[in-house]
Each structure stands twice: as structure tokens, then as C-alpha cells.
Amino acid sequence: MQFAELKVTLIGWLPRGFAVWLGLRKLSPRDRKPTRANQSNVPVIDTGASFRPDWRKQNPSSDPKEPYGSESGSAGEEHGWGNCTMVSAALAYAYHVKDKSGPHGGDMRHNQSDLSGGTDLYDARTAWDNFGNQSLTIKSGQGWSAVKAAHNEKRAIIIQGEGNVPGTESFDGGHACIIGIETNSEGKWLWGDPLASGWQWVSPGSIEDWAKRLSSGVLFAVSKVVENPPPEPPEEPDKPPAYVFPPDPGYGEGYAKGRLDGSNTALDMVFASWMQSSVRGGYWDRSDWNKATWSQLPIPIAEVARASKPAVWDGHNWTGAIWLN
């Protein structure tokens, strides 16, 4: 059993508080609680071509589900400022089910059992299950390469880190954010810091550094694939041959040689040498031909003889006859 798998097993066996004490579960925010002073306004970015959920913010004043039900305002305040993982889980859930409006952080918070302080990815997994019977896949410990692979697969990613947050750098404690499925022309990833006012573009390297300051194996969870790659274009069918040789012996060889010699010129020469005595008012028809002799010629004149359109003799050349390609 790999260490990452063993760790997940231990977390499942141990009571939550003991697992946190052992460092197997890392709650966010961890060092200190975010405040309004940490809120950052960022410019609105383009909507892009991909599916993108409406923004959700870690702020009780902008979360209609904080406080929740009969809770006091102080409880809503406490939850709202501790909901970075829950807000990120709400945005990832919106990706997962492709619901643009999606749930709020308060919805996630109140569909798991921890209602005091910070939360973690395992709480987010419980919230997904209780809120909509959806499965959040936790991949903590699998490293940054697994994060890149998930992003390339077009999965939404909940990720935890520590220190100055990429983008607005609004908070330097333990924190959770979301990586959207888009990449812009500069190679930056769509980034969601719940303490900011909207989506941002940030470099993958800055996310990696931030995540590894909390755990070298990276703590993250992923949605299902949000967008499938475009289908491969169908293969073009083989084109039929331009000309199918008639079954008569010698036609294939004669046709090829006639084309090589300059088909129309050769045809005119044959008409001129064979048919001058048979011209009737400048036209010819099938009755003028002795078809038994045409297979001896270097071009398939027999096919021309069967054509419904006659050739016209202008005194020097035959023109207008059907020449098969």
C-alpha cells in the first residue's frame, strides 16, 4: 500500500480531532482567521469559451446561507470567515454538476459535521455527499504532477496551501482555493481565491510553490472531467477511381499509353487518319465505325465510339468527342 493510500485509510479510522492533532488532517484557515481586511478586489476577466460557475465569496455578508437557518449572526460570521474550503468546494461542485449558479459556501458548511473553526478536504467530501449525493475524489499526497494531470483532463481542483496566496496575495495563513478548468494564451490557469472578488489568471508555478509550503505531496481534491476533448475528425473515405477500365482485353494498357502520348492530340490524329472518308456533313455516328478494329489502337477509341455526343470535323481536327478521364 502506498503512503498516500495508507494516510487516507488512517484518516478514515481515526477520530477527526485526533487526526488533526497528528497532522493527518490539515484544516484551513489554520494560522489565523481571514478578516474583511484580507478581501481583495480583482478586475473582471473575460468569460472564456468554457463552462465557468458564478463567483462565490468567503464573506458572510455575501453568502445567503450564512447564518444558516436559526443560527445566530455571530455563528454566521464565524463560519463565513472560516469557509475557504467550503467555498472552494461549492465552486468545484458547480463544475462537477455543471450548474452555473451552484451552491454557496454556507450550503457546504452545513452539510458536514464540523461547525467550529476551519474545515478540510474530507469535510468537503462529506458535504458533497450530503448536499447532492456526489463524490469528491481526494488525491492528497500524489504530488504536483497529479495536479497538472487533473487540470489537463479538465477537472476542477480544490487545493490547499500556505503563505501569500497566488494572485492577489490577500492572506498568508493556511488557505484553500480552487483551480478552474481553463488556461489562457499566456499559459496561466483560472484561479479562484475565495477572499478575492472574482476569478483571476495566475501562473501554475506560483500555485505549486504555495501548495508545497503546506505539504510537499500537495493536498487537493478533484471533480469529474468537466469538458470532454473534441472528437477526432472522421477519416475521409477512399475516393473511387476516376476511370474504371472496361473488361475488354488490352483496354487498360491502351488507355494508359494513349494518356501518356497526349490523349486529345492522339485522338485527333486517329480521327483525321481513319475517318476522313466517312465524314457526312462534318458529323459522324456509330454506324461509321468498324468497331472490330479499335482494340488494336493505342487508345480506347471504342469508348468514344459508344458516346452519344458526336465529334465535329473542322477540316483539320475532330473536336467535341467525349474523352473519358
Over the stretch 56-101, which tens digit does the pLDDT of each residue have?
999 898 999 999 988 998 888 888 899 999 999 999 999 999 999 9
For residues 36, 41, 45, 50, the Cα torsion angle rounded to the nearest 10 degrees is 0
C-alpha cell at 174: 493556511
Mean pLDDT of the region 228-243: 66
Compute the radius of gyration of the chain from its Cα atoms.
38
C-alpha cell at 7: 494516510
Per the prediction, the chain carries an average pLDDT of: 77
Is the entire prediction scored with pTM above 0.85?
Answer: no
What is the C-alpha to C-alpha distance for residues 54 and 192, in angstroms, rounded to an integer? Answer: 11
Tell me: the pLDDT tens digits for 279-300?
444 444 444 444 433 433 444 4
> Of the given ranges (97-101, 108-112, 172-176, 284-288), which has the lowest mean pLDDT?
284-288
Q: How many helices (H) and strands (E) does the chain have?
A: 11, 8
Domains, the chain: 3-225 (3.90.70), 251-319 (no CATH)
CA angle 81, 86, 90 (to 5 degrees): 125
What is the C-alpha to C-alpha distance for residues 315 and 234, in angstroms, rounded to an integer? Answer: 54
| pLDDT of 306 strictly over 50 | no
